[in-house]
């Protein structure tokens, strides 16, 4: 298995406060991993560290081939192009259709040829069960559908890693299960998924490797 995340004795700080200490963890290509813990336990800070929003000052950390301890500002956009991020609150552009939301991200990350953009948008819409909804506005969609647009947006650049931060936090149980199954399917196709949650109903839907965030530490949960 090829490792895409390697943390060795990393301390994660938020506003000078240690959120997680002595974190040693490896995550492989195509792995699905739950990050389980209460709000404020460090799950989001761990994800922010992976995508270069929080810097690494203590320990050694690599994501893909990027050394996070010596990560240059100019390298952060390139790191982020290799991963997709899904948030709890969707973060869609309310005045643009599903198609235009996805096109906006693609243009911002360097896509230029309109036929290829269109082809990719329809492909990811199909992947997340949104066929036929490409021209809908966000307010015309259910919460579950909006989150599927958010996942589609994370997928447009063919990422090797998806970071999902409480992606089912605003959804009903049926929509939550659908989102979980889409993300699980991505991992089975070779894209690693880190799924942060404190929702035990979601967590108990199926078993996967679990990192438990508790009292400033991260433990492998058996």
19: helix, coil or strand? strand
23: domain range? 3-221
pLDDT value at position 94?
87
Per-residue DSSP letters for 100-115?
A: HHHHHHHHHTT---HH
- For 17, the token pair is 């406060």
What is the Cα Rg of the chain in Å?
A: 17
DSSP state of 29: T
Q: Write down the pTM of the prediction.
A: 0.92
Closest CA to 166 of 89, 51, 88, 92: 88
pLDDT value at position 169?
86
- CATH assignment of the domain containing 180: 3.40.50.300
Per-residue pLDDT of 137-182, as tens digits, reads 999 999 999 999 999 999 999 999 999 999 988 888 888 899 999 9
If you average pLDDT over every residue of the chain, what do you get? 92
55: helix, coil or strand? coil
Q: Is residue 23 exposed (0-12), middle (13-18) or buried (19+ Cβ within 10 Å)?
A: buried
Other CB atoms within a 10 A radius of the CB of residue 74 amount to 7
Would you write out the chain's pLDDT as a tens digit for each of its 222 residues? 589 999 999 999 988 889 999 999 999 999 999 999 988 899 999 999 999 999 999 999 999 999 999 999 999 988 988 999 998 887 898 899 999 999 999 998 889 999 999 999 999 999 999 999 999 999 999 999 999 999 999 999 999 999 999 998 888 888 889 999 999 999 999 999 999 998 888 899 888 999 999 989 999 986
| Tokens 């290799």 -> residue | 82
Given a contact cutoff of 8 angstroms between Cβ atoms, the answer to whether 68 and 49 are in contact is yes
The total of structural domains in the chain comes to 1
**Alpha helix (H) residue ranges in 1-142:** 43-50, 76-81, 98-108, 114-127
Mark residue 132 as left, alpha or beta (left: phi above 0; alpha: psi -120 to 50; beta: remaining): left
């Amino acid at each position: 298995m090829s490792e895409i995340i390697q943390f060795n004795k990393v301390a994660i700080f938020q506003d000078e406060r240690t959120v997680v200490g002595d974190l040693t963890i490896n995550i492989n290509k195509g792995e699905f991993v739950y990050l389980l813990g209460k709000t404020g336990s460090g799950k989001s800070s761990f994800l922010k560290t992976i995508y270069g929003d929080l810097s690494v000052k203590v320990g050694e950390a690599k994501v893909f081939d990027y050394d996070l301890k010596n990560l240059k500002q100019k390298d952060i956009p390139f790191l982020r192009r290799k991963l997709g991020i899904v948030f709890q609150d969707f973060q869609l552009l309310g005045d643009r259709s599903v198609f235009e939301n996805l096109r906006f991200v693609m243009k911002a990350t360097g896509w230029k040829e309109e036929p290829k953009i269109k082809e990719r948008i329809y492909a990811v819409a199909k992947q997340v069960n949104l066929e036929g909804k490409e021209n809908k506005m966000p307010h015309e969609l259910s919460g579950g559908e909006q989150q599927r647009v958010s996942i589609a947006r994370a997928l447009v650049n063919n990422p090797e890693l998806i970071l999902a931060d409480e992606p089912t936090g605003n959804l009903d149980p049926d929509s939550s299960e659908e989102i979980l199954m889409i993300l699980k399917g991505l991992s089975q196709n070779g894209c690693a998924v880190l799924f942060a949650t404190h929702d035990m109903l979601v967590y108990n839907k199926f078993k996967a490797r679990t990192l438990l965030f508790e009292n400033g530490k991260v433990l492998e949960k058996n």
